[in-house]
Amino acid sequence: MSTAAFIKGCRLKIDDLEFALVRKLADGKWQLEAQATGELRCMTQEELLEGIAPGRVRFIVDEQLVRRDGPAFRKANLTKQFDLLPDSLKEVAKRRRHLLLALEKEIGGKWSVKLVQTCIAKVWQQMGETDAPPHPSTVWRWLRRYQASGKDIRSLVTATHRSGNHKKRLPEAVEAKVREAVDAVYLTTERGTYRDTLDHAIAEISRENRLRLKSDQLPLPGLDYVKRIARETPPFDREVARYGRPAAERRFRCVVGHPVTKSPLGRVEIDHTRIDVFVVDDETFLPLGRPWLTICIDAHTRVILGFHLGFDPPSYSTVARALKHAILPKTYVSTLYPSVKGTWDMYGVMDSIVVDNGPEFHSESLEASCYSLGIDIQYCPRKQPWYKGIVERTLGTLNRGVAHGVPGTTFSNILEKAEYDAAKHATITLRTLREMIHVWIVDYYHQRPHKGLRDTPAHAWKVGIEGTIIRLPTDPKDLDVALCKIATRRLTHKGIEINNLYYNSLDARDLMYRLGDDKALTVRYDDEDLGHIQLLDPDSNEHIEIPALDRDYAKGLTLYQHQVCRRFAQRELQGRTNVASLAEAKRRIQDLVDEDVLRKGKRTRVRGARFRNIGKDDPHAADSDNQTLAPAGDIQKRTASTPSVSAPSRVVVATALRVASDLPVRRVQRAAPDAQAKSTNGGATA
């Protein structure tokens, strides 16, 4: 950075017009001359100073004087920051500056060749230099450049390192062939290498040489020359040509800002992942597969508001269950999971959710549910996951903290997995994994200091909600209705037909009396329980619960189970798909699933687990004796002899994982003697 002062001859740029200070008048004003027209103008020094800060008045460095001995080289040095120059160049500039300052102190304004030469030799010796001192004319050039640049040390940087032959060594015809080869081989989606590009260029030049005289042969380029020509293309353009624009934008993305949240529940990010661990069946202890995890995280405080864990792939249903878990208070934790020492105090209806472009987020049901709850949906741009980077990062942290290092882990990639057989070593059940996730979230993640917050998420939430109004559904049943899938069906004398099941009641009949038959109405249904639907009364804007005509078959039946039963009945029962055949198909499929899960592969076991509805968790449901939730007494037995989790550290996670995986290991060990006895008997029989 250079400096300047208001002196005679100084050049200024005022409002993009160039002026020169001619003289200072008797009344203290400066007379300025426009360089383009010669117009004279008078301005006080105060007026000039007022324009400095806003940038209306700027000094012009005498570039011709500064760069007189090498315009291109000097310009390159002046455009760089001094700290970015090589150490060798900085040392030379410092020595020259020290010499000029010493000369100014020794001789002042008396400049003569003999005096200057004597002072240069003296100062040069004091500096400890062993080579010959510079000539006075050389020092004079340094001084003129230094003063003209406003005493900018960059004007003293030498440019000798840029000297040499700068003419092209290869003919233009060779350069043209190499550029064609770069475009045809290197800058393509096939992503040819530099060597492939060189071979292509050599082949083209050799073909050209066959048509030329021996005296006019073109020389062959080298690999370094090909690299230099290829690197002349900007890196972004190279990435676009070789990997495509989405990959280039992802690599060279520019973060010019980030969403700013003012309070908790202002912005909640949602995403899915597959847990990196194999879980086993609660009864047979055969590996079932890797479950899916959906989480909701608050961007302001980084707390995890809720999650859903199960074998169902990402869908609107998994998103709805995660939202329900995030919105409602989690008072069940101490009852169902005594191994969790802390409390999960995070709940409430959020202002907006941030999701990607998965089909489960682009659905009429999600839009209707969010609109009814006053939630805004924000979609990330396509293939740009960094717009919801908080949930992406948290999913990876959760996966590593819970699934890695436990029996049955699949690790994050095949290189880490190596020869480890995850299915063979799997011992953790789904209910145990759910308990492990509760321990990790409540006792570890929420209590660990967050680098971005400089605070723990739990404390940030506690501070953030002070004075904040947290919205809750007026009735949990209304929340269940709001999160159901939405559809439009016609009400007839048969009732409502949806998913090939009929629903009817006296309330539906009364509604048909008022609205007429064959009326299209809005229907909501829960694909986790097809036993009833919710029919919207357009007059009162209230939902009416309509049961299925065959309650014994449909109650507690999931949509996936119903679809499997229909396909089985159509294939095995000669196409009969009435209620009786579906009920029979349901019983026979259950027997086949129980049989196949013992002898089929892991892919079949995952489907069987999904059909048996393993992993259905709703701790907020009225029937708290849900079979998928571990009984409190059972958990208490497992945790009675285990050290308590008292501090957020690595010991907390290790203890929690050991406690959570204790029960399956003991069950396997108890089952081992029977298996060993069978093996022994079988061997004796053989």
pLDDT at 670: 35
Q: Is the pLDDT of residue 683 over 50?
A: no
CA 636 – CA 657 distance, rounded (Å): 15
Residues 263, 464 contacting (CB under 8 angstroms): yes
Element spanning 497, H or E? strand 496-498
Is residue 263 assigned to a domain? no
What is the chain's Cα-based Rg?
39
Q: Using pLDDT thresholds of 50, 70 and 90, give the confidence band for residue 459.
A: very high
105/42 same-domain check:
no
Instruction: Note down the domain range covering 72.
Output: 66-162
pLDDT at 410: 60
User: What HEC string does 261-278 produce?
Assistant: CCCCCCCEEEEEEECCEC
Which alpha helices (H) appear in 422-505, and where do they start and end? 422-425, 430-439, 457-464, 476-482
582/511 same-domain check:
no
CB atoms within 10 A of CB 249: 16
Residues 536, 524 contacting (CB under 8 angstroms): yes
pLDDT in tens, 580-615: 666 666 666 666 555 554 444 555 556 656 666 655
Q: Is the pLDDT of residue 461 over 90?
A: yes
CA 35 – CA 103 distance, rounded (Å): 35
User: How confident is the model over 627-635, as a mean pLDDT?
Assistant: 37
CA 311 – CA 608 distance, rounded (Å): 10
Residues 661, 461 contacting (CB under 8 angstroms): no
CB atoms within 10 A of CB 104: 11
Is residue 630 assigned to a domain? no
Is residue 625 assigned to a domain? no
- Write down the number of H helices and E strands in the chain: 28, 19
Residues 298, 264 contacting (CB under 8 angstroms): yes
CA 472 – CA 462 distance, rounded (Å): 17
Q: To the nearest whole number, what is the mean pLDDT of the chain?
A: 77
71/143 same-domain check:
yes
User: How confident is the model over 653-669, as a mean pLDDT?
Assistant: 37
Non-local CB neighbours of 456 within 8 Å, separated by 6+ positions: 446, 447, 448, 449, 450, 648
Final residue in a domain of this structure, among 181, 216, 251: 251
pLDDT at 673: 37
CA 244 – CA 238 distance, rounded (Å): 9
Residues 534, 477 contacting (CB under 8 angstroms): no
User: How confident is the model over 543-559, as a mean pLDDT?
Assistant: 86
147/229 same-domain check:
no
150/225 same-domain check:
no
Q: Between 461 and 666, name the one with better pLDDT.
A: 461
212/156 same-domain check:
no
Joined together, the tokens standing for residue 69 give 């001995």
pLDDT at 382: 78
* Residue 418, domain CATH: 3.30.420.10
Query: If you search the block for the tokens 């690595």, which residue do you land on?
Result: 650
Hey, what amino acid is at 438? H
- What is the torsion angle, in degrees rounded to the nearest 10, for the CA atoms of residue 584, residue 587, residue 588 and residue 592? 160
Is residue 46 assigned to a domain? yes
Q: Is the pLDDT of residue 221 over 90?
A: yes
Residues 118-136, buried b or exposed e (16+ Cβ, 10 A)?
Answer: ebbeebbeeeeeeeebbeb
Is residue 681 assigned to a domain? no
307/423 same-domain check:
yes
CA 30 – CA 22 distance, rounded (Å): 7
pLDDT at 678: 37
CA 536 – CA 544 distance, rounded (Å): 6
CA 386 – CA 392 distance, rounded (Å): 8
Q: Which of 189-193, 211-215, 234-238, 248-252 has the lowest mean pLDDT?
A: 248-252
pLDDT at 295: 94
Residues 486, 522 contacting (CB under 8 angstroms): yes
Element spanning 289, H or E? strand 287-289
Residues 303, 458 contacting (CB under 8 angstroms): yes
Joined together, the tokens standing for residue 333 give 């934790």
116/228 same-domain check:
no
Q: Which of 28-42, 110-124, 274-288 has the lowest mean pLDDT?
A: 274-288
- Give the total number of structural domains in the chain: 6
pLDDT in tens, 528-539: 888 889 888 888
Q: Using pLDDT thresholds of 50, 70 and 90, give the confidence band for residue 231.
A: very high
Final residue in a domain of this structure, among 42, 60, 78: 60
| 93 phi, psi to nearest 5 deg | -65, -40
Q: Using pLDDT thresholds of 50, 70 and 90, give the confidence band for residue 642.
A: very low
Q: Between 232 and 666, name the one with better pLDDT.
A: 232
CA 465 – CA 473 distance, rounded (Å): 18
Hey, what amino acid is at 607? R
CA 609 – CA 429 distance, rounded (Å): 12
* Residue 533, domain CATH: 2.40.50
CA 652 – CA 444 distance, rounded (Å): 7
| 284 phi, psi to nearest 5 deg | -90, -15
Q: Is the pLDDT of residue 417 over 60?
A: no
Q: Using pLDDT thresholds of 50, 70 and 90, give the confidence band for residue 279.
A: confident
453/511 same-domain check:
no
User: How confident is the model over 553-578, as a mean pLDDT?
Assistant: 73
214/121 same-domain check:
no
| 483 phi, psi to nearest 5 deg | -95, 5
Calculate what percentage of the chain has a pLDDT beyond 90: 21
CA 486 – CA 316 distance, rounded (Å): 11
397/357 same-domain check:
yes
CA 336 – CA 333 distance, rounded (Å): 5
Among residues 511, 554, 501, the alpha carbon closest in space to that of 536 is found at 511
DSSP state string for 174-191: HHHHHHHHIIIIISSTT-
Note the Cα 239 to chain centre separation in Å: 20
Hey, what amino acid is at 426? A
Q: Which of 144-158, 259-273, 562-576 has the lowest mean pLDDT?
A: 562-576
Is residue 637 assigned to a domain? no
**SS3 label, residue 293:** strand
Per-residue DSSP letter, 489: E
Is residue 541 assigned to a domain? yes
376/305 same-domain check:
yes
Residues 292-326, buried b or exposed e (16+ Cβ, 10 A)?
Answer: bbbbbbbbbbbbbbbbbbbbbebbbbbbbbbbbbb
For the chain, the residue count is: 686
Among residues 129, 465, 448, 88, the alpha carbon closest in space to that of 265 is found at 465
| 420 phi, psi to nearest 5 deg | -75, 130
Element spanning 32, H or E? strand 29-34
pLDDT at 230: 94
Q: Which long-range contacts (CB under 8 A, 24 or more apart) does 377-386 make?
A: 377/352, 377/353, 378/352, 378/353, 378/354, 379/355, 380/354, 380/355, 380/356, 382/246, 382/357, 383/246, 383/250, 384/249, 384/250, 384/253, 385/356, 386/253, 386/255
Residues 283, 296 contacting (CB under 8 angstroms): no
Q: Is the pLDDT of residue 543 over 60?
A: yes
Q: Is the pLDDT of residue 551 over 70?
A: yes
Is residue 72 assigned to a domain? yes
40-44 vs 304-310, strand pairing mode = unpaired
Residues 56, 68 contacting (CB under 8 angstroms): no
CB atoms within 10 A of CB 290: 21
pTM above 0.75, yes or no: no
CA 45 – CA 63 distance, rounded (Å): 24
Burial classification of residue 158, based on how many CB atoms lie within 10 Å of its CB (0-12 exposed, 13-18 middle, 19 or more buried): middle
CA 643 – CA 31 distance, rounded (Å): 86
